[in-house]
Amino acid sequence: MRLPQKGTIAALVAGTLLAGVVGWRVLSSDAGQETVVAAASEPATIEALEAAANASPDDAQGWQRLGLALFGENRFAEAAAAYERATRADPDSPLLWSALGEARVMASSTDPLPPAALAAFERALALDSGDARARYFMAVRRDLTGDHAGAIGEWLALLADTPPGSTWEADLIRTVEQVGAINQIEVATRLASASAARNILPAGALGGPGSQPRGPTAQDLAAASAIPPTQQQEMAEGMVARLAARLETQPQDVDGWIMLMRSYQQLGRTGDARRARLSGAAANPSAKEQFDEAAQMLGIQ
């Protein structure tokens, strides 16, 4: 794929480093290699996947699996077509819309962010303002228009929401560093602040039922970086305990359970993260796919 020379290194990163990684195309296995995320019963060949999808045209997961496999084979235009069918079958899935946007980016040989891809990312964000893949590429859009500082700010906000150890973390940091260096924008201090804030849940994340978890604001980042590490840990533990207590009485809050999973994982309490996933899924069986996707993103087995 040939990307135009418009907009610094970020456009290249969009097409190579993060493509499919922000999209949860792969997870690191215990052996340190990359494993395609798919159902255990997934047919082994693209032909079989295509046949299965056509046999159940209203099954979004069938088209998603086909799109995933085609993307892995660098057949991006075909992957985009499969994701289009998936979004037609399930138009309310932000994951499918952002996957479609990414496939459209990779399928384009002339435009690093074609309008159809932007439309898909915007739809994903309308459904889930926290979709990491869509947020990344919308920041790339800022960089391509010359707003390098604005792009860096959005990537830093995404980093603040990124669980430590996520598959795209290192590339995201590298993007910020490279765009900062090319455009003579200081980023080291801001990277440190964003990283320090990741283990602290902002107060707004613990709102009432139905409230959307949010990432830290600039004020949150500044405050977090000034707090001694021991106090950061105490603050985080207290916020997580309050969130867990609220979910005991309000178990239908799917976003709250996913926030709890993420928070436990950030605190190194993997067993509690697993239990939160099971409890949330048991209380909300119709949201099982959401819990599975969140667990994959967070590395919760």
- Cα distances from 125 to residues 1, 93, 135, 196, 197, in angstroms, run 26, 10, 8, 25, 23
Residue type, 76: F
Residue 7, SS3 per DSSP: coil
pLDDT, residue 246, reads: 84
Q: Is the pLDDT of residue 33 over 60?
A: no
CB atoms within 10 A of CB 126: 12
Residues 116-175: tens digit of each pLDDT: 999 999 999 999 988 889 999 999 999 999 999 999 999 998 888 887 777 778 888 888
Which band of pLDDT confidence, cut at 50, 70 and 90, is reported for residue 232? low
Q: Is 154 within 8 Å of 142 (Cβ atoms)?
A: yes
Q: Is the pLDDT of residue 221 over 80?
A: no
Q: Of 19-33, 83-97, 249-263, which has the strongest mean pLDDT?
A: 83-97
User: What are the structure tokens assigned to 274, written together?
Assistant: 């697993």
Residue type, 50: E
Backbone phi, then psi, for 36, in 5-degree steps? -65, 135
Q: Which residues contact 198 (CB under 8 A, 6 or more apart)?
A: 159, 160, 161, 162, 163, 164, 266
In terms of residues, how long is the chain? 301
Give CATH for domain 1-198. Answer: 1.25.40.10
Q: Of 37-46, 177-186, 263-272, which has the strongest mean pLDDT?
A: 177-186
The CATH class of the 227-301 domain is mainly alpha
Q: Is the pLDDT of residue 215 over 90?
A: no
Which band of pLDDT confidence, cut at 50, 70 and 90, is reported for residue 294? confident
Measured N-to-C along each axis, helices 132-144 and 148-160 cross at an angle, to the nearest 10 degrees, of 160
User: Any idea which of 176-180, 194-198, 229-233 has the lowest mean pLDDT?
Assistant: 229-233
CB atoms within 10 A of CB 4: 11
pLDDT, residue 269, reads: 83
Measured N-to-C along each axis, helices 46-55 and 60-72 cross at an angle, to the nearest 10 degrees, of 160
Q: Is the pLDDT of residue 229 over 80?
A: no
Measured N-to-C along each axis, helices 288-298 and 270-283 cross at an angle, to the nearest 10 degrees, of 170
Report the alpha-carbon distance of residue 88 to residue 95 in Å, rounded.
Answer: 13
Report the alpha-carbon distance of residue 136 to residue 172 in Å, rounded.
Answer: 9
Q: Is the pLDDT of residue 203 over 60?
A: no
Range(s) within the chain of domains with CATH label 1.25.40.10: 1-198
Q: Is the pLDDT of residue 280 over 70?
A: yes
Q: Is the pLDDT of residue 71 over 60?
A: yes
Residue type, 37: V
Q: Is 211 within 8 Å of 254 (Cβ atoms)?
A: no
pLDDT, residue 231, reads: 55
Rounded to two decimals, the pTM is 0.57
